């Protein structure tokens, strides 16, 4: 489990350890620069407190020997380690490339040596600005796709070419394609999951990444929130526990290498303004917001078409949107001292 000290990685590690599996958590804890020492170590310490069969390895995906040694004799590698912010990729594209592209290559080479299956945490950003070429309509508090062809969201064969992506989108797309190629060329079982917005407990959201968590934290701490654009941007959001079950469905079923768009789907969409309204209703706190210019490569609407995951994995989101947000609020309230 690369990035096992992170948000998604810690949930994957906990899930499989509780099922009785031996889990290797591999992380360099670099998120300390973003979250501060307490935040960076919280998930790592949380996993250690569970007293389960988890081996903790502090290492860096950019260093192949460290990855190879940690992956020895494993059956599955869930590759969640990444540079996760578009803004950071713009400031330091070399770091972004080395972590996301080279790091993924190292994971694949390690997997090839031990014949392990690979799950790759990809992103909707691989589709780049092509998503913004789809006409949208303004319905007041949100945008929605105006083209009926995308009534169920963006499918896996949506084009990735001839558009801007941001360095982050490029580095993740590079890893995405490499994972697919290792499945075809070397016969590894590889699952590429192009994720929309994932949220839930233990997500230390920031302004750059993890907006559902960031809005929740800011609201409860009384911190101002800056909305880039007009706040009508829409995403499909997926509770992290449901994401982990999608990974598990892929591992357990007789599905060879494939690509899945994964998110809450059309049933779990929300705009920025709508989330702020829900948070106010659930917490009694009205957030202080201001507006600024649109950010590079931001998509007005992104909704995952999850039909393929439903069909091939017999999976669907189980956690209703309001229930998931309430779980996140409860976690933030219980951990406000480290946020």
Q: Which residues are catalytic?
A: 168
Q: What angle do CA 78, 237, 278 make, to 5 degrees?
A: 140
CA atoms within 13 A on the CB side of 290: 5
How much of the chain is in helix, strand and coil states, percent to nearest 5? 50, 20, 35
What Rg value do the Cα atoms of the chain yield, rounded? 19
Task: Decide if 128 contacts 138 (C-beta within 8 A).
Answer: no
Q: Are 74 and 117 in contact (CB under 8 A)?
A: no
Angstrom distance (rounded) from CA 321 to CA 161: 33
CA distance 209 to 31: 12
Cβ–Cβ under 8 Å, residues 132 and 222: no
């Amino acid at each position: 489990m690369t990035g096992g000290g992170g948000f998604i990685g810690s949930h994957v590690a906990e899930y499989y350890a509780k099922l009785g599996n031996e889990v290797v958590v591999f992380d360099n804890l670099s998120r300390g620069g973003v979250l501060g020492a307490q935040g960076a170590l919280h998930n790592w310490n949380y996993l250690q407190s569970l007293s389960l069969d988890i081996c903790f390895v502090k290492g860096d995906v950019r260093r192949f020997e460290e990855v190879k040694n940690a992956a020895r004799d494993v059956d599955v590698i869930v590759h969640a380690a990444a540079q996760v912010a578009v803004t950071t990729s713009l400031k330091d594209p070399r770091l972004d490339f080395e972590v996301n592209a080279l790091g993924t290559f190292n994971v694949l080479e390690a997997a090839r040596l031990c014949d392990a299956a690979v799950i790759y945490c990809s992103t909707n950003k691989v589709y780049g600005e092509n998503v913004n070429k789809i006409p949208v309509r303004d319905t007041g508090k949100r945008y929605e796709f105006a083209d009926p062809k995308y009534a169920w969201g963006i499918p896996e064969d949506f084009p990735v070419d001839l558009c801007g992506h941001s360095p982050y989108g490029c580095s993740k797309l590079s890893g995405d394609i490499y994972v697919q190629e290792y499945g075809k060329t070397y016969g590894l079982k590889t699952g590429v999951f192009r994720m929309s917005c994932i949220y839930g407990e233990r997500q230390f959201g920031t302004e750059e990444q993890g907006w559902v968590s960031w809005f929740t934290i800011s609201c409860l701490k009384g911190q101002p929130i800056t909305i880039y654009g007009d706040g009508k941007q829409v995403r499909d959001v997926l509770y992290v526990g449901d994401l982990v079950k999608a990974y598990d469905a892929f591992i357990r079923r007789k599905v060879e290498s494939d690509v899945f768009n994964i998110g809450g789907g059309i049933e779990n969409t929300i705009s920025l303004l709508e989330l702020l309204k829900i948070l106010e209703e659930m917490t009694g706190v009205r957030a202080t917001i201001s507006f600024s210019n649109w950010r590079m490569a931001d998509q007005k609407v992104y909704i995952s078409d999850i039909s393929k995951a439903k069909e091939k994995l017999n999976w669907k989101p189980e956690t209703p949107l309001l229930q998931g947000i309430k779980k996140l609020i409860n976690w933030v309230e219980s951990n406000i001292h480290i946020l």
